[in-house]
Amino acid sequence: MTERKPPGVSFESWVERQIRLAQQRGEFDNLPGAGKPLPRGPKDRLDWFARKLERENVDGSALLPPSLAVAKEIEELPARLSRERSEARVRDIVADLGERIRQVHRGPQVGPPLRARPIDVEEAVEAWRERRKP
């Protein structure tokens, strides 16, 4: 049990002394979570959902509005194509992405507008060939 704060001693000094004495007695040893960072506090109403997705290792891009999901795919396209071995597969990927870009432009706007035009398949294949040259 902690003794009462003596008169004339500041709260800060008294609290620091109590903590130091408890550390010396080993009262903070082997606490759960020792050595781990403190969990982040909630930043908004959906923070619990973001933590759940992270814990379950779920890609959150499926939850994006179509315009943002397609924009993300466009950004990741060069890296994705560089992993492909077949020119036919590259053509299929680019053609499929181009069709989804057109669908986003034709459909009702959900989320921010998509500021991208469909990707030219021949240009993408040529760039893919150039990156594959030794």
Residues 47-97: pLDDT tens digits?
A: 888 888 888 988 878 789 999 999 999 999 999 999 999 999 999 999 999
Answer whether 124's CB lies under 8 Å from 94's CB.
Answer: yes
Helix ranges (DSSP H) in the chain: 11-25, 47-55, 66-82, 87-106, 121-132
When comparing pLDDT for 30 and 69, which is higher? 69
User: Is the dihedral angle over the CA atoms 83, 89, 94, 96 positive or is it negative?
Assistant: negative
Q: How many CA atoms lie within 13 A of 110 on its CB side?
A: 10
What is the mean predicted confidence (pLDDT) over 19-33? 88
Q: Is the pLDDT of residue 1 over 60?
A: no
Q: Is the pLDDT of residue 42 over 70?
A: no
Q: What is the DSSP letter of 58?
A: -
- What DSSP element (H or E) covers 86? none
Answer whether 98's CB lies under 8 Å from 118's CB.
Answer: yes
